[in-house]
Amino acid sequence: MARRSRFKKVVGGLGIGAAAVGVLTLVGCVRTSGGTWYFDEAPLPEAWPELTPVDSVEIREYPTYRAAVVTDDRTSAGQSQMFGPLFRHISSNDIPMTAPVDMTYESTGDTAADDRMTAMAFLYRTPDLGPLGTDGVVEVEDIAAQAYVSTGVRGSYSDQQFADGLARVRAWLDEHGDWRADGPPRYLGYNSPFVPWFWRYGEVQLPVARDVEGG
């Protein structure tokens, strides 16, 4: 019995030690951008703007970047069905993984909760990396420079989190007549499932353009 008790203590100690190492590893990946902290699991694309503070709404200007894209008309709709082909694409072509993962949505009803994901993209580190073109269901394309109205979100991704973030950016647009929506909303996810859900960071965004008449 004494030996078994000592064994349990050793195993328990190892478990605590492993957990501590995991926490320290995560802490070592903490970075700040635009006054916002996040877990830096993968590099951002070249010339990526500062991240948007959580619950704040601000304009962000994005440069031209290259991305591997899967749309719902090329594969079964759904996050897992889109993620798999994208991951196989970058793995087979030696393309380094970056953050964030870009998920574009289309409105199918009167509220943000009715929006559905229509595309997912993995962003390339530099705009000259790899060739453009088609790789199975994956399309590698250059995304033009674009302004977005953006809000930062913290926590596990959910439809409600996306809906709340989208409501904030739409409310901001209602109050700023010199900007207008210029395309569908997107969610940028910066963290993998390995980061505890309550520490994960993302951005909910709408592409925008200057409204000359409104301004």
Look at the block and give the residue holding tokens 């200007």. Answer: 61
* Model confidence pLDDT, tens digit, residues 54-103: 999 999 999 999 999 999 876 555 566 899 999 999 999 999 999 999 99
* Model confidence pLDDT, tens digit, residues 156-177: 999 899 999 999 999 999 999 9
Q: Would you state the pLDDT for residue 72? A: 85
Average pLDDT over residues 181-194: 95
pLDDT greater at residue 111 or residue 55? 55
Based on its alpha-carbon atoms, the radius of gyration of the chain, rounded to whole angstroms, reads 20
Q: Would you state the pLDDT for residue 18? A: 41
Average pLDDT over residues 103-111: 76
Rounded to 5 degrees, what angle do the CA atoms 197, 80, 170 make? 65
Give residue 83's identity as a one-letter amino acid code. Answer: F
Average pLDDT over residues 34-45: 93
Of all residues in the chain, the percent with pLDDT exceeding 70 is 79
What is the pLDDT confidence band of residue 28, given thresholds at 50, 70 and 90?
A: low
Q: Is the pLDDT at 207 greater than 60, yes or no?
A: yes
Average pLDDT over residues 9-32: 49
Q: Would you state the pLDDT for residue 211? A: 82
Give residue 55's identity as a one-letter amino acid code. Answer: D
Average pLDDT over residues 169-198: 95
**Alpha-carbon distance 58 to 110, whole Å?**
24
Give residue 142's identity as a one-letter amino acid code. Answer: D
